[in-house]
Amino acid sequence: MATAYLNCRIKDSDDTAFLVEGHLISRTGSDEEIRSLLREGDETVELSGMYVVPGFADTHMHLLGLGEYLSTLMLNHCTGSEEVLELTRKALPSLKEGQWLRGRGYHDNLQIDKASLDAISTDVPIVLTRACGHVACVNSKALELAGITEDTEAEEGDIDYANGIIKENALRLLKKAWKEPDEETLKEYIRKGAEYCNAHGITAVGSDDFVSFTSSYKPALKAFEHLAMENGMNLRVSEQCEFHDPEEFSRFLDEGYTAGVGSDAFVIGPLKLILDGSLGARTAAMTMPYSDDPDSCGILIYDDEEVETFFRLAQSYNMPVISHAIGDAALDQILDVYEQNMYEGNPLHNGLVHCQIMRKDQLKKILKLSLSCYIQTLFIDYDAGILEERVGERAKYSYPFATLYRNVPTANGSDAPVELPDPLKGIELAVTRKSLTSGRTMNASEAMTVKEALDSFTDRAYELLGMENCGKIRKGYFADFAVLSADPEETEPEKIHEIPVMMTVMDGRTVYER
Ligand SMILES: [Zn+2]
């Protein structure tokens, strides 16, 4: 049985209709041409002039983290400490015996500390994680169960015991104390995350999940593999593989895994390294102190030797490396490693995730090395409000998204659950560079065109993810697409985020309908 989608406008095409058979788009053409191919029992879907785009691809996120976030206490809408504490208090009665109260998503430097969480409960462990995921505030019970005392030393992280503030790798002490989610729970997170993505027109993601909340890469890997085998994936996933240390990575390679191993639904992607923290939490590693905190230069997670060990191991197995680098010191660290060890022309597509605070010389080097850049224009929404206070003059060459897009392989994403996935909002922010929340604009000379921004979530995103036969409405391509009620190129830029996604189809199946 085939399905004909009729009377639509198609991105980058003059056709008005297309035919889907099984997983694939089997023909495109005019309405009459496609109608003439229909046989008895075939279906037609009338799209009334709506705009069809290839399913959006979000090139960097944490799908398990997104699913978990959607299942726990969401604090992203909170505007003040009182609201965060009130929601936390209200969540307490719904917990099961022995369960931790975990929330995530607060943004601002709220007045939440150990004492304010202890006032809610000293019996139930409470962990509230900042939106960026690099800092958490905890109560006394959580510290006790995690075995953290005044004398605990934090390697590559920071513990403020008195105030219950835990940063970066010290967060692993907390994760160790949580009961690891079983496979059913992990699968449920994947399904929930995928459902949210589908509702926003997304049919593929680059996702970093291995160390999210398990002590080894295996539980997450198995949950994805099993779900893919059971045909339970409504999203194509390229796994951005993160490990606790080079030894764990080595064990993974010994099992026969490397980039490209997998199926159309779940495939092993690049090695992911997290080199520093976030701008919002002032843990991004800077060469000079923060403009609004002269005592802090942020945190580098690894020493140079470890980064090089990871890198060489990956390259010897033809596995690309993509590195989370937000501050200029983290960028210096990885650019040195790339410059000294990479093959010329970057044939393995090593890259950078985020590409935020940088100096002019670093931008030049990124272009010279032809690094793949995984950007998040959605970050402009929050960061436009804090960038200049945090880094002063250094804002000038930061978030240079148009320059990157026009010179090196660059595509877009959300880093969910840091921001909730929303390609249309991401497209708007790429174009306007103006925060919807604070109204502030960030370096408007780096604005992308609507066409570029759309491509950064479609064609270019699939190239970056290495997913073939995806990203176009064309014969022989996977039937992965989204139907929008309007063409973003014909919409006022400030209204692009309001365009409704009417339908999402993945692998020939309707996975979302408004
Ligand atoms: Zn991330």
Segment 409-464, tens digit of pLDDT: 999 999 999 999 999 999 999 999 999 989 999 999 999 999 999 999 999 999 99
> From the CA of 386, how far away is ligand 1's center (Å)?
20
> From the CA of 414, how far away is ligand 1's center (Å)?
8
Residues 204 and 336 in one domain: yes
> From the CA of 101, how far away is ligand 1's center (Å)?
23
Confirm whether 508 is domain-assigned.
no
> From the CA of 60, how far away is ligand 1's center (Å)?
6
pLDDT tens digits, one per residue of 90-124: 999 988 888 899 998 887 667 789 999 999 999 99
Nearest to 241 by CA among 256, 258, 224: 258
Confirm whether 496 is domain-assigned.
no
**pTM of the full predicted structure?**
0.91
Residue with the bigger pLDDT between 157 and 382: it is 382
> From the CA of 353, how far away is ligand 1's center (Å)?
8
Confirm whether 492 is domain-assigned.
no
CA 355 to chain centre: 13
Residues 105 and 250 in one domain: no
Residues 188 and 97 in one domain: no
Residue-number span of the structural domain to which 324 is assigned: 57-62+182-469
pLDDT at 172 over 90: no
The rounded mean pLDDT for the chain is: 94
pLDDT of amino acid 286? 95
pLDDT of amino acid 271? 98
> From the CA of 255, how far away is ligand 1's center (Å)?
25
pLDDT at 478 over 70: yes
pLDDT tens digits, one per residue of 491-503: 999 999 999 999 9
Residues 143 and 211 in one domain: no
Residue 97 burial (10 A CB sphere; 0-12, 13-18, 19+)? exposed
pLDDT at 213 over 80: no
CB 473 within 8 A of CB 17: no
- Residue that terminates a domain, selected from 122, 154, 177: 177
Residues 152 and 194 in one domain: no
- The CATH number of whichever domain residue 109 belongs to comes to 3.10.310.70
Confirm whether 437 is domain-assigned.
yes
Confirm whether 208 is domain-assigned.
yes
- Residue that terminates a domain, selected from 124, 155, 177: 177
How many domains are there within the chain?
3
Instruction: Give the helix/strand (H/E) hosting 126.
Output: strand 126-130
> From the CA of 476, how far away is ligand 1's center (Å)?
32
Residues 194 and 138 in one domain: no
Confirm whether 294 is domain-assigned.
yes
Residues 247 and 380 in one domain: yes
Confirm whether 219 is domain-assigned.
yes
pLDDT at 157 over 80: no
- Residues, CB-to-ion distance under 5 Å, ligand 1: 415
- Residue that terminates a domain, selected from 177, 201, 227: 177
CB 357 within 8 A of CB 398: yes
Q: DSSP labels for 347-415?
A: TT--EEEE--S--HHHHHHHHHHT-EEEE-GGGHHHHTTTHHHHHGGGGGGSS-HHHHHHHS-EEE--T
pLDDT tens digits, one per residue of 248-299: 999 999 999 999 999 999 999 999 999 999 888 889 999 999 999 999 999 9
> From the CA of 72, how far away is ligand 1's center (Å)?
19
- How far the first Cα of the chain sits from its last, in Å, is 24
Residues 192 and 327 in one domain: yes
**Residue 30 confidence class, pLDDT cut points 50, 70, 90:** very high
> From the CA of 388, how far away is ligand 1's center (Å)?
23
Structure tokens of 392?
């002063």
- CA 410/CA 406 separation, integer angstroms: 8
**Residue 466 confidence class, pLDDT cut points 50, 70, 90:** very high
Q: In what order do the strands lie in the sheet with 501-506?
A: 9-10, 51-54, 481-484, 501-506, 509-513
Residues 149 and 108 in one domain: yes
Residues 335 and 278 in one domain: yes
pLDDT of amino acid 108? 66
Structure tokens of 463?
């190239």
CB 263 within 8 A of CB 227: no
Residues 200 and 299 in one domain: yes
- CA 207/CA 212 separation, integer angstroms: 11
Confirm whether 503 is domain-assigned.
no
Residues 196 and 147 in one domain: no
